[in-house]
Amino acid sequence: MSRLPHTSLAYALLQAARIDAAVFAGQSLADGMLARVDSQARPAVQDLVYGSLRQYGRGDFFLAALLDKPLADTEVHALLLVALYRLETRPDAAHTVVDQAVVAAGEVARGRFRGLVNAVLRNFLRRQTELTAAAQRDPVAAGQHPAWWLEQLQKAYPNEWQGIVEAGNSPPPMALRVNCRRTGRDDYLQRLQQEGIGGRAWGRDGIVLDKPLPVDRLPGFDEGWVSVQDPGAQLAAELLDPSSGVRVLDACAAPGGKTAHLLERQELELLALDLKPSRCRRIEENLGRLGLAAEIKAADCAKLERWWNGRHFDAILADVPCSASGVVRRNPDAKWLRRPEDIASFAATQRRILDALWQVLRPGGTLLYATCSVFPTENREQIEQFLQRQADASRRHEEQLLPNAEHDGFFYCLLDKRA
């Protein structure tokens, strides 16, 4: 427990450092670490965590130049990374940032590193111009992505890779999906304008907000009028587009955004699967807020004997586990937790899921393969290999969305099963 006032910058720096240190030890932000932070301080801590992780390659480069040897204490190392991020983004408050980082250091390792934290940060301020110029010449510091990740992007997208990297290092847009069962998109846009919230239409059901805001400021959120969902993710329901009354499987459904979108658009007999009961509860909660219902089961979708009753599906959404390389601005820990060999492991899982789900799709049915990845191994190459294995499969539509100012990165391939 920290003795620091929860409203202080020192508390925010310390909590952010502890979360970063947990990430470097292998934990994921998806494990809910931010939820354990004092609610008043949570927005500031979240900004420090996400910002310092997005810029980890840059901060680590600075520390390599500022320290004589690597720090054995991971919390102190993380505290310096968080403080460096704050110094770069709030140069007008440099004195306060250094002072509060030293106060935070007093809570770590019995305060033994207060002097070191003070010296390192002041040295950075003295050498900032020199170090910033050097960082621009270092691929990882400038790209703020691991070297192997940058190499894959350059190989796959020789003309677009820099834009992908820039998007991955930027704060994400906030977009909404209007629940057409509760209100119309144009009506909701008008309601936002009345509340002084700017936004513009995107796609059939989407709105991209001018700037992010807490969901409790969104009119009708608790009543299920809208959900937060990236515009690129909203394409899944539009592409699969099942007819009313048909039998649909959402095979990797949590947290339920795409499930809900399918049900908002049509009356369906829908089964939603996910591996963990805790994740299935999130699907239930999301559907409940929106006034929707589906059959929900906790199961590995590739192990048919655990859940399939022998009835075939007319349409299947296979939003498979992947590297999340298209959404790293929302999951900045992913690019530092991933390893090159993980991509092959994800590809093997995707292959297993695709081959299993093809068996439960009726002849004449449609399967939408989806990832939030930009790596071809998980996307185009995966589909090419699948088509070679399955003689009754044909590709109707394929689309690779690259992350930009409006949406994240997604891959979609619509597959038809010949009758």
Residues belonging to the active site: 372
Alpha carbon distances (Å) from 178 to 109, 175, 288: 49, 10, 16
Q: Of all helices (H) and strands (E), which one includes residue 128?
A: helix 114-136
CA 60 to the chain's CA centroid: 22
Task: Compute the distance between CA of residue 29 and CA of residue 287 in angstroms, rounded to an integer.
Answer: 24
d(CA 406, CA 356): 34
Handedness of CA 330, 332, 333, 334 (dihedral sign): positive
Q: Which long-range contacts (CB under 8 A, 24 or more apart) does 395-398 make?
A: 396/366, 397/239
- Contact partners, residue 283, CB within 8 Å, separation at least 6: 253, 254, 255, 256, 259, 272, 274, 294, 296
Cα torsion 273, 279, 285, 286: sign? negative
74-89 and 9-24 helices, crossing angle to 10°: 120
Cα–Cα distance, 270 to 61 (Å, whole number): 49
Q: List CB contacts of 353: < 8 A, sequence separation 6 or more.
A: 251, 252, 301, 302, 318, 320, 321
CA distance 413 to 396: 8
For residue 369, count other CB atoms closer than 10 A to its CB. 25
| Stated length of the chain | 419
Distance between CA atoms of residues 186 and 207, nearest Å: 10
Looking at residue 326, the DSSP 8-state letter turns out to be T
Report CA-CA distances (Å) from 220 to 178, 184, 201, 264. 10, 12, 18, 16
